[in-house]
Amino acid sequence: MDIRGIWKIKELRMPTPEGEKVFTPDNIPDKEEFDDIARMMQCTTEFAEDGVLNTLLFVPEEMREQAKAQGAVIRDDGYAVVDSTKWKEENGKFYYDTKTEGEVFGEKIDPFAEISVTTDGYLVYGYGTILLERA
Average pLDDT for residues 23-48, to the nearest whole number? 83
Among the listed residues 49, 56, 48, 50, the one whose alpha carbon sits nearest the alpha carbon of residue 9: 56
Report whether 79 contacts 59 (CB < 8 A): yes
Taking only the tens place, the pLDDT of each residue in 100-123 is 999 999 999 999 999 999 999 999
At a CB cut-off of 8 Å and minimum separation 6, what does 106 contact? none
Q: How many residues does this entry show for the chain?
A: 135
Taking only the tens place, the pLDDT of each residue in 49-104 is 999 999 999 999 999 999 999 999 999 999 999 999 999 999 999 999 999 999 99
Where in the chain are the domains? 5-87+115-134
Average pLDDT for residues 23-38, to the nearest whole number? 78
Largest CA distance in the chain: 52
pLDDT of the residue at 16: 79
C-alpha torsion angle, residues 55, 61, 66, 67 (rounded to 10)? 10
pLDDT exceeds cutoff 80 at 29 = no
Report whether 12 contacts 37 (CB < 8 A): yes
Average pLDDT for residues 23-49, to the nearest whole number? 84
pLDDT exceeds cutoff 90 at 31 = no
What is the value of pTM for the model shown?
0.85
Residue 21: pLDDT band with limits 50, 70, 90: confident
pLDDT exceeds cutoff 80 at 4 = yes
pLDDT of the residue at 17: 84
